[in-house]
Amino acid sequence: MDRVLRIFKIPPQIIFTIVPLGLIIMGDSILYVILPSNYEFFKINSFLGVDSGFWIGFILSINRFVRIFSNVFSVKIIKILGLRNSMFVATFAGSLSTLGYGLFKGVLLIVLMRIIWGFSYSIFRLSYYLKVYSYEITNYGRHIGFCLSIQRLGSLLQLHLEFIFL
């Protein structure tokens, strides 16, 4: 691994900050594929007199709306807990939300899991930006590019694993 670090010139602390997000984002990515075609498994039927199609779209988008507000709270969480402990909280919450997709059924519980994921993602994103900005300014582009590629690599890996296991 040390050899890879020298090739990309990425500090280990940045790698350790982004890798958990790259792994946990697989749960978010697979939901975009599985939920629309298997909404019966999640017990997403007509709820409150509204068709399941609306709820599928709402569930898949609620985490983005949550992030509008959770970005402010993630700053406060990082100030209170520090960067390292905030990452632990985000990793635990992101893992919990991914596990919840498989364990919990129904609109309200899946929406709750998506809200938890939105908060977790906000902490992750702010954490890796703060870590990158703690290094020399001439390397910001390389470090941010590396973080974004690892994040998207998690989504890509999910697609390949999905075809193997499903």
pLDDT digits (tens, 9 = 90+) for 123-162: 988 988 888 888 888 878 888 888 788 888 877 787 777 6
Residue 163 scores a pLDDT above 90:
no
Residues of the chain above pLDDT 90, percent: 33
Q: How much is the pLDDT for 164?
A: 66
Question: Residue 34's CB: how many other CB atoms inside 10 A?
Answer: 15
Segment 2-30 shows an average pLDDT of 77
Quote the radius of gyration of the chain (alpha carbons, Å). Answer: 17
Q: How much is the pLDDT for 166?
A: 59
pLDDT digits (tens, 9 = 90+) for 81-125: 998 899 999 999 999 999 998 898 888 999 999 999 999 999 988
Q: How much is the pLDDT for 6?
A: 59
DSSP, collapsed to helix, strand or coil, labels residue 2 as: helix
Domains and CATH numbers, the chain: 2-165 (1.20.1250.20)
DSSP designation for 43: T
